[in-house]
Structure 1
Amino acid sequence: MASQKQTLTSLPQVSSEIASPEVAPSVWRRQLDALKASFPSPWREPDRDQSFEQMFARAVGMINALKQPPAGTDAAKSYLGKVDLPDYSKCHEARLAPRMMPQEQVLAELASLFDGMPVWNHPYTMANVIPPANTPSIIGAAMAGVFSPNIIEGEYSWNVAKTELEAAAMVAAMIGWDPQTAGGLFTFGGTGCYLYGTKYALTRVLGPESRKRGIRVDGQILVSAEGHYVKDNCSDWTGLGSGNVREIQVDEQNRMSIPHLKQVLEECRREGKPVVMVVCTMGTTDAFAIDPIREVREILDSYENAGGCPRPLLYADAVIGWSWLAFKHYDFERNPLQFSAEALAKIRRNAEQMADLIYADAIGCDFHKTGWSPYNCSLFMVKDYKLFAKMLERPAPAYLQDRTAYNPGHYTLETSRSAAYSTAAWSTLKLLGYEGFQVMLGRIIEVEVYFRKVLAEMPNMVCVNPTENGFVTLFRVYPEWVDAKAQYQRELSDPGAREDLYWYNMLQQNVANKLFAMLRDPDQRVEGWEYPPYTSFTAGYRPTSYAPGETDKRYWVYGLKSYPMSPYCDERAMLMAAMYARKACQLVIEEQLAMHAARAAQQQAAAGAEPGADTSANWFGDNILIPLKYLVQQ
């Protein structure tokens, strides 16, 4: 006992002389030793390190085992494992077990939950702006998971913080901003970027004191009618109120109307309500509309805000479109990547419009959309980073001290902030470079050029966004006897075809339901037409040209959607998408005719009654019974 006391009170000559204290054996220590095997070793121990690596590889292998074979009918399945729909009804019964579970069993159960997940890099997966993640970005995010760098400050992220600083510098240079004065922060998706933009705008325009006393002024946010619905989220969550968001009308290309913007700005000034932020959407989800941000900048530069407030912040919601900046230095005359003439013209147009991002004050960029990185991974960029940090700075708690030169936790929304976002994005930027982005983006345009040619050759199909050059093709399918191009033009421009538009909208909705049912419902699988491409649907692409202010979305243009985001998606995949849409339309019409016949035979429908709906598979809305005159040639 005396020697132990001596050990505790005496300072050894060197630290290596400090002996480990003797401790009594116990059950918890034995269990702890077992549990340590479920954590990576803190030292370079080949056996334990190899065990961790193998466990990681086995887990990935469990998910890979759910993939479909590369040949045969099952190769067309664009999801992992079985088709069964998820059953969430018993999730509330989950309870914490009294004992530990072996990590192999945990991972096996975890892998089983991926059963039925869409495979985003499958050539037939084209449902949304959801790309597969590239391998370095996946591993980069996973590496952050191993050692948990936290970019609240440099102390907890050390050199890993460079991934945020360097990625922001690379993107700033792509934009055309000075990387020495511009900067960025990685955050939780496009909503996080928009929220940062909203808060920065409120503080810049209403003054830093608004952070203490609260928002006491009806500051206005102006955004196009086609802007993302996150405008309501962020105005709500910041306390500004979604009622202070004003929508700007759009033109025929779904771009913000400059005349209407000027009108609304003047209205705000007359009402004494300062405009805190104008949002230009640089690539809408459906139409890939790019707002005229250069013209907006010119207007705001001379705008006198209400109440003597500073001019509004110009925020660019470029979460989809930002990566077109990769064509900044492309030689369109020499065309070194040999894009087709049709594709090159579209690429050039996108690049020219996106170059105007330089006029924004702040920009949102999603790497998990057009950066082919894992969810979620978004970068909020500001032109004047020092001003942004100063505006949002807050006192640090006593238990945190700055030990490095980079400590964004003083002004970020998040305090703890994983480096997984920045490591994934940094890895992507390093992997792709300008040329890699050019190849990935150019491929999308090339296959869409092909797809639109296919639609043009099919009499009963029509592309409804032929002049748009984004990541999506929107199209409609009609009965085989209908001239789709002529019919759609009537629906779009002739008030007398208003009811035609409605009922053929219902047909699009029913076809979308059928395609999803063919893909996911074993009871509706069609022999010889198994596993259609995983496409999607929109019930609000655009209003008609004769009723631009239409509020009843049933009389907007509906359309089927194809987003060929996977690098494996090729011309054959696009041809399959068109053919499956035609087949689904045939099947829907057959079912509709059978329903009409059954109703007539059973005299269930009185004369003049409104046709009913079938809600048995309402993936995208009810399967509406359509009048016969729209289904069969009269």
Structure 2
Amino acid sequence: MENISFQTAEVGDALQGSNPAHLYPDIFNQGSIHTYDAAMDQAKQMVLKFLNSQKKPFSGITPNKLAEQFKKIDFDNPLKEYEALFKEVDELYVQHATAFHLPQYIAHLNCPIVIPALAAEVLVSAINSSQDTYDQSAGGTLMERQLINWTAKQIGFSEEADGVFTGGGSQSNLMGLLLARDHFALHKYGHNIKYDGNPLVAHRFRVFVSDKAHFSNQKNASLLGLGEQGVIKVATDERFRMSVDALKDAIQAELELGNIPIAIVATAGTTDFGNIDPIENIAEIAERFGLWLHIDAAYGCGLLLTDKHKHLLNGLERAHSVTIDYHKSFFQPISSSAFIVRHKSLLEIIKHHADYLNPEEQDYEEYPAQINKSITQSTRRFDALKLWFTLRLMGRHKLGGYMDAIIETSKQTAGLIDSDPDFELLGDSDISILVFRYAPTHFSHDTLCDLNQYIKKQLFHAGEVLVASTKVNGKFYLKFTIFNPLTTMNDIRFMLNAIKTYGAGYLQ
């Protein structure tokens, strides 16, 4: 047979001739470098404008008023140039976007983000690797695996640990509960849920969480066919952490009812109080009853970065699985999360082979495929690169210093609130969330909920300070989520004074 060879230039010329790049100037390729460069420069300028012009965390615009501006949008008539596009997006989005980087944003678990991760985002989006198989990401696969191994080591797991990046804490919690259910059914009854569906006794499966645990537990139980009734809420102690005695009583009560305990979900950093369930004691109970232990450390995972406070996570290594949210306590852009198991064999139960993607006969030691560890994502962004940039340029100890600063500011803030007779502090925090309310003595007890709801609404529409809120025992409270190492006590005093100012105007 005649040998056939091609010269690179000839192939390039042939491709250019049959499919000239100038006909497709908007597709990212070597022929659109100037277009890409100009578009990225305009995007950069808009980001810089956002940083320079945003003096308060929110514009205060109402949904109805903002919605009016969308009525003129017609997707069938595209804009003519990038300048018009950026102007439109600035008016509809950027000017009203919540500025998480400002100290006066103190509402939810939205962290300020580090610049190395932003640089990585440019590569992640442009190169657009998919993390499901090695042939779609190559080095990206190995980077993700190394970061999973590093995280597992920080948790205290052995080299047998494994995991995968996920879209967020709720997804990771879903994976933890799914593995708990499937593992229990397989080892208790020899029943493979992946092939045969839930066993008839699944309606009696019970999962135990604290009454301050994340709402995703109920949603996930519903998705897995266990029903929300399968989640047993366990009472908390005076610091709003899962009560060990109440947990033991709850498990015993379900056993006496003929139900089947399968798992405990402990929380390392509750959304409302930033406190950590007594992990060591809960691990002992899980081992005594033979239950799967999943720990939701979506928020508290940042303590892994700090030698000063890492002891608060003692016992984390005893979990079967752990949720990690890098886009919370590691200061990463959304989305960047992970699900980690203490032994790689625990992930085997969710593996599914597709001949066109990850065939069963493939040697996955030679050509690894992260899709074998994922339950809801095939095509998946290379979010691990953001954490790689961050750790390689900043390191664990620098990030840990950010967490130390946040925790110290929270402690000082708790002291300031607690010492002010106009405020009622509900409790302290292991990390950085404080629940309190404006409660001056001249206000009647019955009006305090209405008063604090009024304050929150006024703050939101003024846009100068954004706080969160929650209900505890049916009562309305304000909530500070201190998540920015740039926040100073002067910032805290400004925000508390703003609360007092709006509170004083309530009766007027």
So what's the TM-score if we normalise by structure 1?
A: 0.72
Is the 1:160–1:423 contact (alpha carbons within 8 Å) kept by the matching residues of 2? yes
Report the alpha carbon displacement of residue 481 of structure 1 after superposing the two structures with TM: 4.4
Match of 2:491 in 1: 573
Alpha-carbon deviations, 1:232-257, whole Å to 9, x = none?
11111122211111111111111111
Q: Secondary structure at the match of 2:376?
A: coil
**2:44 aligned with 1:63, yes or no?**
no
Match of 1:535 in 2: 467
**2:110 aligned with 1:130, yes or no?**
yes
Question: Matched residues in 2 for 1:239 and 1:104: separation?
Answer: 50
Match of 2:170 in 1: 191
Q: Give the direction of change, closer, same or farther, for the CA distance of 1:412–1:22 in structure 2 (3 Å limit).
A: closer
Q: Give the direction of change, closer, same or farther, for the CA distance of 1:14–1:255 in structure 2 (3 Å limit).
A: closer
Question: Matched residues in 1 for 2:274 and 2:69: separation?
Answer: 40
Question: Matched residues in 2 for 1:23 and 1:300: separation?
Answer: 64
Q: Secondary structure at the match of 1:539?
A: strand
Report the alpha carbon displacement of residue 90 of structure 1 after superposing the two structures with TM: 7.5
Q: Which moved more, 1:364-373 or 1:437-446?
A: 437-446
Match of 1:85 in 2: 62
User: Which structure 2 residues correspond to residues 64-463 of structure 1 after superposition, within 5 A?
Assistant: 64-69=48-53, 75=55, 77-79=56-58, 83-86=60-63, 87-88=66-67, 95-97=74-76, 101-112=80-91, 113-178=93-158, 180-207=159-186, 209-216=192-199, 217-218=202-203, 219-303=205-289, 311-328=290-307, 330=308, 348=309, 351-385=310-344, 387-398=345-356, 400-401=358-359, 402=362, 404-463=366-425
Opposite residue 576 of structure 1, the aligned amino acid is F
Report the alpha carbon displacement of residue 12 of structure 1 after superposing the two structures with TM: 4.2
Match of 1:503 in 2: 447
Report the alpha carbon displacement of residue 327 of structure 1 after superposing the two structures with TM: 2.7
Q: Which moved more, 1:426-435 or 1:198-207?
A: 426-435
Match of 1:618 in 2: none
Q: Percent identity?
A: 18
Is the 2:131–2:382 contact (alpha carbons within 8 Å) kept by the matching residues of 1? no
Question: Matched residues in 1 for 2:436 and 2:42: separation?
Answer: 42
Q: Secondary structure at the match of 1:260?
A: helix
Is the 1:516–1:534 contact (alpha carbons within 8 Å) kept by the matching residues of 2? yes
Alpha-carbon deviations, 1:513-560, whole Å to 9, x = none?
2222332xxxxxxxxxxx3x22222223xx3xxxxxxxxx2xx4x322
Question: Matched residues in 2 for 1:271 and 1:457: separation?
Answer: 47
**2:404 aligned with 1:472, yes or no?**
no
Report the alpha carbon displacement of residue 275 of structure 1 after superposing the two structures with TM: 1.9
Q: Give the direction of change, closer, same or farther, for the CA distance of 1:407–1:85 in structure 2 (3 Å limit).
A: same
Report the alpha carbon displacement of residue 440 of structure 1 after superposing the two structures with TM: 0.7
**How many residues get paired?**
493
Report the alpha carbon displacement of residue 204 of structure 1 after superposing the two structures with TM: 0.5
Q: Secondary structure at the match of 2:214?
A: coil
Q: Secondary structure at the match of 1:141?
A: helix
Q: Secondary structure at the match of 2:105?
A: coil
Alpha-carbon deviations, 1:483-514, whole Å to 9, x = none?
xxxxxxxxxxxxxxxxx654312222122122
Report the alpha carbon displacement of residue 294 of structure 1 after superposing the two structures with TM: 1.2
Question: Matched residues in 2 for 1:108 and 1:400: separation?
Answer: 45
Question: Matched residues in 1 for 2:68 and 2:462: separation?
Answer: 24
Q: Give the direction of change, closer, same or farther, for the CA distance of 1:14–1:515 in structure 2 (3 Å limit).
A: closer
**2:506 aligned with 1:588, yes or no?**
yes
Q: Give the direction of change, closer, same or farther, for the CA distance of 1:16–1:367 in structure 2 (3 Å limit).
A: closer
Question: Matched residues in 2 for 1:24 and 1:538: separation?
Answer: 63
Q: Of the two structures, which has the highest relative contact order with CA contacts closer than 8 Å and spacing of 6 or more? A: 2
Q: Give the direction of change, closer, same or farther, for the CA distance of 1:292–1:54 in structure 2 (3 Å limit).
A: same
Alpha-carbon deviations, 1:369-400, whole Å to 9, x = none?
11111112111111012x12311111223455
**2:475 aligned with 1:515, yes or no?**
no
Q: Secondary structure at the match of 1:420?
A: coil
Match of 1:522 in 2: none
Q: Secondary structure at the match of 1:302?
A: helix
Q: Give the direction of change, closer, same or farther, for the CA distance of 1:502–1:287 in structure 2 (3 Å limit).
A: farther
Report the alpha carbon displacement of residue 142 of structure 1 after superposing the two structures with TM: 2.7
Which structure has the larger Rg over C-alpha atoms? 1
Report the alpha carbon displacement of residue 268 of structure 1 after superposing the two structures with TM: 2.8
Is the 2:266–2:279 contact (alpha carbons within 8 Å) kept by the matching residues of 1? yes
Q: Secondary structure at the match of 2:455?
A: helix
Match of 1:53 in 2: 37
Q: Give the direction of change, closer, same or farther, for the CA distance of 1:501–1:325 in structure 2 (3 Å limit).
A: farther
Q: Secondary structure at the match of 1:375?
A: coil
Structure 1 unaligned runs (5+)?
Answer: 1-8, 304-310, 331-347, 483-499, 520-530, 544-552, 591-634
Match of 1:560 in 2: 478
Question: Matched residues in 2 for 1:23 and 1:322: separation?
Answer: 50
Q: Secondary structure at the match of 1:381?
A: strand
Report the alpha carbon displacement of residue 121 of structure 1 after superposing the two structures with TM: 0.9
Match of 1:495 in 2: none
Question: Matched residues in 2 for 1:579 and 1:23: separation?
Answer: 65
Q: Which moved more, 1:438-447 or 1:400-409?
A: 400-409
Q: Secondary structure at the match of 2:171?
A: helix
Match of 1:40 in 2: 28
Question: Matched residues in 1 for 2:458 and 2:5: separation?
Answer: 79
Question: Matched residues in 1 for 2:413 and 2:8: separation?
Answer: 71
Alpha-carbon deviations, 1:382-424, whole Å to 9, x = none?
1012x12311111223455558521121341134343332112
Is the 1:235–1:242 contact (alpha carbons within 8 Å) kept by the matching residues of 2? yes
Report the alpha carbon displacement of residue 457 of structure 1 after superposing the two structures with TM: 4.2
Is the 2:212–2:272 contact (alpha carbons within 8 Å) kept by the matching residues of 1? no
Q: Give the direction of change, closer, same or farther, for the CA distance of 1:161–1:411 in structure 2 (3 Å limit).
A: closer
Question: Matched residues in 2 for 1:119 and 1:22: separation?
Answer: 46
Question: Matched residues in 2 for 1:288 and 1:577: separation?
Answer: 20
Report the alpha carbon displacement of residue 319 of structure 1 after superposing the two structures with TM: 0.4
Opposite residue 279 of structure 1, the aligned amino acid is V
Q: Secondary structure at the match of 1:535?
A: strand
Is the 1:460–1:481 contact (alpha carbons within 8 Å) kept by the matching residues of 2? no
Alpha-carbon deviations, 1:459-493, whole Å to 9, x = none?
3123222x3232122222134647xxxxxxxxxxx
Q: Secondary structure at the match of 1:252?
A: coil
Q: Give the direction of change, closer, same or farther, for the CA distance of 1:411–1:172 in structure 2 (3 Å limit).
A: closer
Alpha-carbon deviations, 1:535-590, whole Å to 9, x = none?
222223xx3xxxxxxxxx2xx4x322222322321111101011111101111121
Q: Secondary structure at the match of 2:466?
A: coil
Is the 2:209–2:234 contact (alpha carbons within 8 Å) kept by the matching residues of 1? yes
So what's the TM-score if we normalise by structure 2?
A: 0.89
Question: Matched residues in 2 for 1:22 and 1:89: separation?
Answer: 47
Structure 2 unaligned runs (5+)?
Answer: none
Report the alpha carbon displacement of residue 108 of structure 1 after superposing the two structures with TM: 4.0
